[in-house]
Structure 1
């Protein structure tokens, strides 16, 4: 006999997924509408407009891809990559390798440059490689959750535009938690995620792309239908978008006023996305970014006061992920296990060369609030003492409280965050 479904209530302080905003959960329980019901298509239109506002863009095309964040990345890359295209992917953490793998699966000639994990690229280094290799596409991660670093993008975007290179950005970890300025940074296509700073369950990937990307999609669609100009150099090449589900040219038809059927929309997830975006805009982007920075500061001051060391280049820290060096001789997984089982708190380890060497604490979306920061600091201190680590007892929570008490009178917060 199966037991009643009753998942444990956790304090989730990982870099994703995070705790879901209660109003989003309520929205997901709303009645189902048909996907061509005018009330539902109105919800679709509202969601597109809100995606534009959160990405800070005036792009015509802004809609979600049904699937996790990886689905959005694959949809963009598979729709613009043709076999033999040269794609430059600068790697400074795990998710640069993901961009590389997806591009290679669709026949791209991928060129990588790499830097040490915990660092980011000087924009000039990427621009130099663009000039040397002359790629069709540059694909980069904005916020690398595996290392807690954030790559400056504006100079790279300007160079891509100057050299007529398509600039694709994975903004999965940063959208809704820190600035993502699609138009100002000259990003041609950006992919977000729901399960991080937007505080929505995983299952949709909001994307946006501009007319430069649209022209590629429309040309490929003409080739597929045999309508392209036969005198163009690319005529006769393999131009069909290999994926049906991730074909952005078909998704454009689905999200346009014609509403050509492509798939059955994930109704409850769209409700969740609309409500999550509405909450972001209700808070206001600047207030939201300020809130994430405040709780980041409180967490950092607590970690340092405890006597622990931060990992990575602090000048390029991702504001919504804090990486902590595991003290020498400590079993990092044992600490995480005790936090989970004795305090119902989940934090993360990392990947590859950093596995077992750092802990990653996410302060994202609804998880990014005073109660959670104080709770994780107090619990981590207690667990480390149990593991024989010499910390400064009582200092972590006090240091975080100092941050909050010094800042409360000047910051604006939505109800429930402080």
Structure 2
């Protein structure tokens, strides 16, 4: 019950146990086509180029950035947590000129400040995180893509922590590239990164490949020109692999494709609106239960992710001792924190297969007991009823 990875859905684990197929077997390429179709509604898009990057969620992030950004390109990063800092680190390695528009941890960046930053630095790419699990905040994205488009910039969103648990609306937002991962709200294992790419972004990536083919070999050796500086993460080549051409690029991670396919089938079978409502209920119940214990929930309520809740560790309580007791006494894992929040908050997740009423209630009851073991005085027995009432809030309405 941390910020991810979480328990995989049993159906996903069963799917992964199926026998392997050759990557050009008609059955395998049929599964690839199914995956493309299944993930379009999950991303909220009609993009043709909706597929998988083999690797953890970070593989999707790096593939997007290394394929979109050339050395010397100005990139604006919307930074409100650890994973905004990750984008800047990857972009530094690419050789981009990085500008940022920042918010304190626990807040988000208002769209008007993003607009001001775009006007100031004239970026070629604008990149942001949707939900940053380090701060438990979700950046509002309505109007984000249009703002970038009007400025002639491409837009990128890392939705690793929200895909399958909070609405993604790539087309409505007008976002060019969105990447995700399986290990959080989709209820799968880490190791496959769903991605969607707009036609505009695909054309941009394709032009980089075509220009590269005209560069002299010695120029390439000197590191000059706009070439995509990765073979494995070259999205132009990955798109050829997923296209009808089926140009060989790498050996497909067959078991992970099975997992990604089953994650999507489960999500769509439940219904996306129902799934988002379930995650919202779980987050609402978790926050209500924590507050009923007398604890302080971290961050701005208006922009809280539905699937991860930050809560301040009470003064005088050993946060790591509580986490250890949760794990050893109840076999429940909750998360620690990073950076300026390290040692100050716990991050408690309820997502994917774990965004269930009974799992939220068990977690709260266990936390209550472990806090008592550490000598923290709290109102006994209030957390679970408060969580139950909050879970059923929409049903009662």
- Partner SS for 2:143: helix
- 1:163: which partner in 2? 151
C-alpha distance in 1 between matches for 2:343 and 2:113: 30
- Partner SS for 1:140: strand
TM-score, normalised by the number of residues in structure 1: 0.91
C-alpha distance in 1 between matches for 2:129 and 2:392: 35
Task: Provide Cα deviations, 1:150-171, integer angstroms capped at 9, x if missing partner.
Answer: 0111222211011111110010
- Partner SS for 1:154: coil
C-alpha distance in 2 between matches for 1:102 and 1:189: 16
> 1:225 aligned to 207, 213, 237, which one?
213
Higher helix share: 2
Residues 3 and 349 in structure 2, CA contact (< 8 A), matched pair in contact too:
yes
Shift of 1:401: 2.4
Residues 215 and 225 in structure 2, CA contact (< 8 A), matched pair in contact too:
no
C-alpha distance in 1 between matches for 2:374 and 2:215: 69
2:137 is equivalent to residue 149 of structure 1: yes
- Partner SS for 1:146: coil
TM alignment of 1:286-305, pairs within 5 A: 286-305=273-292
> 1:322 aligned to 294, 306, 309, which one?
309
> 1:373 aligned to 360, 367, 372, which one?
360
Shift of 1:408: 5.4
- 1:395: which partner in 2? 382
Shift of 1:216: 1.3
User: Which 10-residue stretch deviates more, 208-217 or 278-287?
Assistant: 208-217
C-alpha distance in 2 between matches for 1:60 and 1:331: 51
- Partner SS for 1:215: helix
- 1:10: which partner in 2? none
Shift of 1:204: 0.5
Shift of 1:86: 0.3
- Partner SS for 1:280: helix
Aligned residues: 391
Residues 144 and 175 in structure 2, CA contact (< 8 A), matched pair in contact too:
no
Task: Provide Cα deviations, 1:207-246, integer angstroms capped at 9, x if missing partner.
Answer: 0111111111111111122299xxxxxxx96121110000
2:257 is equivalent to residue 270 of structure 1: yes
2:165 is equivalent to residue 186 of structure 1: no
Task: Provide Cα deviations, 1:84-128, integer angstroms capped at 9, x if missing partner.
Answer: 000011211000010001111111001122211000011100110
> 1:310 aligned to 297, 303, 325, which one?
297
- 2:94: which partner in 1? 106
- 2:41: which partner in 1? 53
- 1:6: which partner in 2? none
Task: Provide Cα deviations, 1:50-71, integer angstroms capped at 9, x if missing partner.
Answer: 1111001011101110000100
Task: Provide Cα deviations, 1:337-369, integer angstroms capped at 9, x if missing partner.
Answer: 110111100000110000010000111100110
TM alignment of 1:16-415, pairs within 5 A: 16-226=4-214, 238-404=225-391
Shift of 1:35: 0.8
C-alpha distance in 2 between matches for 1:409 and 1:307: 25
Report the aligned-residue RMSD.
1.5
- Partner SS for 1:183: helix
Task: Provide Cα deviations, 1:273-293, integer angstroms capped at 9, x if missing partner.
Answer: 001100000011100001111
C-alpha distance in 2 between matches for 1:256 and 1:298: 44
C-alpha distance in 1 between matches for 2:391 and 2:177: 37
- Partner SS for 2:226: coil
Change (3 A) 1:212 1:406: closer
C-alpha distance in 2 between matches for 1:171 and 1:325: 25
Change (3 A) 1:238 1:400: same
- Partner SS for 1:124: helix
Shift of 1:406: 5.5
Residues 51 and 195 in structure 2, CA contact (< 8 A), matched pair in contact too:
yes
- Partner SS for 1:309: coil
- Partner SS for 1:346: coil
Shift of 1:180: 0.9
Change (3 A) 1:405 1:284: closer
